[in-house]
Chain A
Amino acid sequence: MVRGGRVIDPASGLDDTRDVLIQDGRVAQIAPSLPVPAGARVIDAEGLLVTPGLIDPHVHLREPGAAHKETIESGSKAAAAGGFTTVCCMPNTTPALDSPEMLDAIRVRASEHASCRVFPVAAATRGRKGEALSEIELCARAGAVAFSDDGDVIASAGMMSRVLQAIEPTGLAFMQHCQEPTLTRGASMNAGEVSTRLGLIGWPSVAEEIIIERDIRLNSSIGARYHVQHLSSGGSVEIVRRARAGGQPVTAEASPHHLLLTDEACEGFNTLAKMNPPLRTDADIQAIRQGVADGVITILATDHAPHSADEKALPFEDAPFGIIGLETALPLYAEALVASGAIDWPRLIALLTIEPARLCNLDARGLGQLREGGPADLTLIDPDLAWTIGADDLRGMSTNTPFLGRQVRGRAVTTIVAGSVTHTTGSRAPVTA
């Protein structure tokens, strides 16, 4: 029993004080002032937000192939610590998740070791090489919740067209990593004043924007569900805005770092701020926030990308791209979007629950929402808890984040997956009545 919290369920529009009774991993009842059944464990949620379990549709769990960075076990612990009950893992593993067998392997590993629900995104092309289609239909049947060659763009327009055609009948979304490769050769950060100062090859926004433009044009006669991953530029927001206004099936996601940090973070050759797509300018940040406020951007995703300290200690151009995000995302979203006045808490919760659930067709499984009879995945959030992000707060295997030492507000204090507490911090541990 989760008692006395402010229950926010954007799917049903509920936003009021309620008790939530959980039985056998499912939500048994949501109502004001429920009697506590004998023997029930009670979590006092007064002053807390009680929301559907948070969903991150874009994480890298590095398994198989790079278990020194992260595993399904460690990455899902990081997810739980950040309030996430479901993550969708990208297929850029070694080998890639490009076959029903690989998807099955992820399912089995996750069922044995994960602290949250893990759903795989399948590679759209074999080996993510962009040359030949994966077995799209077989992968969909094997549990893929979307398709993507994330980490790489599908560079060939011809291949991209075939990918969209093949995916459209599955009803799943294709998620594009938008990076025109000939415009980004050798580039390691945003093209601008800072890259000019540091002598680093610049990565222009247009490299992202022309892929989005191209794909939308290709898709206009196909009609597949097309999703723009981690958009980084104000120009991209405008392209997506126009396409959505024209009724195209386009969605887009924003990541915490693109909502808060500029390329100035790369000063001093700080590899913790080396990111693909790169951190850009304040104007881009404002445009992306506005895109969230206007409903152009409906998805938030961390792009949780763990790398070892040794890898990030390399010279800037040699170091890998990526920032971890699962443990730190919630307060960063709150800072960038709620504290800034762009949106309110209920909308933020929608962006973290029902919206990603719909993107990955997980709403059909009852995820991303709170309803009687549905899965008891809940996140309890203290929106006012002030804390400083420290390495000790990170439950994953890697600590590559430029947000270490940042003072933030808001934290998931308890995470519940199918009725089991997967994370709790502070004094909100359950007591038995």
Chain B
Amino acid sequence: MTDTAGRLLQIRGMRADPIRRLLASARDASAFRGDELEGVTVANLFFEDSTRTRVSFTIAAQRLGAAVVDVSGKGSSVSKGESIADTARTIEAMGVGAMVVRCSQSGGAKGVADAVSCAVLNAGDGRHEHPTQALIDALTLSRALGREADFDLSGVRVAIVGDCAASRVARSNIACLTALGAEVVCCGPPGMAPTTLEGLGCGVSHDLDGLVGEVDAVMALRIQFERSSSIGSAREYRDRFGLTRERAARMRPGAWVMHPGPLNRGLEIDGEVGDGDRSLILRQVGAGPDVRAAALLSCVSACRQS
């Protein structure tokens, strides 16, 4: 898990110090020379579709001088019945220094990590975690709030709105933001924001209107409506939990709008809110390569030392 050298599988269980070290390294990314990972090959093992995360990791690896190979689920031996662990072992045997894993099963990244000895970074495993996304969000929010010197988010309140129960982004963000001192409230209909989430150390609300003026940032999650039966319709979701223009207007002065992307404009977020002055969305995307470069460097270095 996270206590194993060279692995970034989940934020839960990580203490504030190592999180802050990663964030500081990403903040100071301009100091990367560009040859830190020269001679290292990074394999993107994407067993589930993704464009932005894969591209972001690719740019990060190239920025450090690493070579990158892409292995996708479709057209790979996984589609011929090979297990994810076997695919990982096979790729590692070809001389790979780090693996970036995206898969649809919770715990799938740990399954890869258990099978190989190289560095492993979880790029999203099922409903479990998406740790680099949470680091990206923490860095972006810290910068926007002027907390990037020490990444101490004490007193900051963040609402995560959407299908939090099924979201790996929510799970990683809850762990990351609370570790840095922030308060997190998950918001959505009861099927998407059940009170069991309180066990993760966050609050739960089913009333966005009551919450939206009380927080320093609202993070809207992408709604995959076809998967969810927790609410009657897209119309009803937008009515109750969409980050609409009207709701955004009621946010605190200086409060920020976030979204891990891609956006369903007009569903969980109005287009003009996503594009508006409060929006950190493009800054989140922009911080991706810095954070992932920092994470890759940290994991590969730790692996080399162990």
Contacts and interface: CB of A to CB of B under 8 A. Distances in A.
A365 interface: no
Given A269-B110, A315-B84, A196 B196 contact: yes
Interface residues of B, number: 24
A200 B127 contact: yes
B85 interface: yes
Most A CB within 10 A of own CB, among B110, B111, B197? B111
Interface string A102-118: 00000000000000000
B1 interface: yes
Interface in B182-220: 196-197, 199-200
Contacts of A268: 1, 110
A318 B104 CA distance: 10
A280 to B, nearest CB: 14
A315 B171 CA distance: 19
A-side interface mostly: loop
Which of the four size classes fits the interface of chain A? 10 to 19
A196 B83 contact: no
B197 A316 contact: no
A202 B191 CA distance: 12
Interface in B115-169: 125-129, 165, 168
Contacts of B197: 196
Interface string B75-104: 000000001110000000000000000010
B107 A315 contact: yes
A314 interface: yes
Given A192-B196, A193-B196, A269-B111, A199 B106 contact: yes
B127 A199 contact: yes
Interface in B1-54: 1, 12
Contacts of B85: 313
Contacts of B129: 199
Contacts of A192: 196, 199
Contacts of A198: 106-107, 128
B105 interface: yes
A191 interface: yes
23 contacts: A191-B196, A193-B196, A193-B199, A196-B196, A196-B199, A197-B200, A199-B125, A199-B126, A199-B127, A199-B128, A199-B129, A200-B127, A269-B107, A313-B83, A313-B111, A314-B83, A315-B84, A315-B107, A315-B111, A316-B105, A316-B106, A316-B107, A317-B106
